């Protein structure tokens, strides 16, 4: 029923924790697909230590490309993503699958713990996970984490795959596209642990992350509330770009 997709790039030290958390699930998935996005460390050697996983190696071309390949190769009715630096609690798939079957839903997520540099981070009120029709709740920033999601594979046939032009915030873009047509059901149990603090994480690699959110929001620019959010983000970014004389960012913002 469930295809688990783990995409990885140069995370040989963290990847085993993620895989083991899937293999310890009380409800075992139909398959575990690991997409190695052109790692140059010893990822392939590490993966040889695991049985009952399907490993696909590809040329490095980003997280969206890796996730899309995993989706195309998957056989399950449902897709569950797990980032290579996160882990699931042992009942995650069982409880989430029960939620889907009991409520006849297509898209769900769970609560999560945040760990930064080995310390738990208290989540603020504005980080509260959305439940139901929540497109507008998510237009400022993404409140849905890929590692918490379970989604009917058929949704990707309707909505399309991840935008491979987006280097980051590809999840923000995807969830907004889905939320235009589907509600999301929140399983109010903490079933995922999300880790941060690694310098290799994409959020550490890119400056002015809102520029990617603006690109994603522009797909819905005909909506007045979205247009207002784009204007707000452009104004803030423009102020910073002028202050730091970032001509590239200033030119980018002229399009909006």
Q: Which residues is 245 bridged to in the sheet?
A: none
What's the confidence (pLDDT) of residue 204?
A: 44
All CATH 3.90.550.10 domain ranges in the chain, comma separated: 2-200
pLDDT tens digits along 24-40: 999 999 999 999 999 99
Question: pLDDT 10s digit of each residue in the chain, 256 long?
Answer: 999 999 999 999 999 999 999 999 999 999 999 999 999 999 999 999 999 999 999 999 999 999 999 999 999 999 999 999 999 999 999 999 999 999 999 999 999 999 998 899 999 889 999 999 999 999 999 899 999 999 999 999 999 999 999 999 999 999 999 999 999 999 999 999 999 876 545 544 456 899 999 999 999 999 999 999 999 999 999 999 999 899 999 899 999 9
C-alpha closest to that of 130 among 115, 145, 152, 118: 145
Is residue 170 a contact partner of residue 64, using CB atoms and an 8 Å limit?
A: yes
Rounded to an integer, what distance in angstroms lies between the CA atom of residue 2 and that of residue 27?
10
Burial class (CB in 10 A: 0-12, 13-18, 19+), 21: buried
pTM above 0.85, yes or no: yes
pLDDT tens digits along 117-167: 889 999 988 999 999 999 999 999 989 999 999 999 999 999 999 999 999
Is residue 88 a contact partner of residue 194, using CB atoms and an 8 Å limit?
A: no
Specify the CATH number for 2-200; select among 3.30.310.80, 3.40.228.10, 3.90.550.10, 3.90.1150.10.
3.90.550.10
């Amino acid at each position: 029923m469930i295809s688990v997709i783990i995409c990885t790039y140069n995370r040989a030290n963290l990847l085993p924790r993620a895989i083991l958390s899937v293999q310890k699930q009380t409800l075992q998935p139909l398959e575990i697909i690991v997409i190695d996005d052109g790692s140059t460390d010893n990822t392939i050697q590490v993966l040889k230590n695991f049985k009952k996983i399907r490993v696909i190696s590809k040329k490095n071309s980003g997280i969206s490309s890796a996730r899309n390949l995993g989706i195309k190769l998957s056989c399950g009715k449902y897709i569950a993503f797990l980032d290579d630096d996160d882990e699931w609690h042992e009942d995650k798939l069982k409880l989430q699958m029960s939620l889907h079957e009991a409520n006849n839903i297509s898209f769900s997520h769970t609560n999560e713990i945040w760990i930064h540099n080995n310390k738990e981070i208290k989540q603020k009120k504005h980080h509260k996970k959305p439940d139901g029709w929540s497109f507008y709740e998510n237009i400022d920033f993404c409140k849905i984490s890929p590692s918490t999601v379970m989604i009917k594979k058929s949704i990707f046939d309707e909505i399309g795959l991840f935008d491979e032009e987006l280097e980051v915030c590809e999840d923000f873009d995807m969830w907004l596209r889905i939320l235009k047509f589907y509600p999301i059901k929140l399983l109010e149990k903490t079933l995922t642990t999300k880790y941060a603090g690694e310098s290799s994480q994409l959020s550490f690699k890119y400056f002015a992350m809102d520029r990617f959110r603006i690109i994603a929001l522009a797909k819905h620019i005909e909506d007045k509330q979205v247009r207002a959010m784009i204007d707000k983000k452009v104004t803030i970014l423009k102020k910073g770009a002028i202050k730091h004389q970032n001509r590239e960012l200033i030119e980018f913002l002229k399009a909006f």
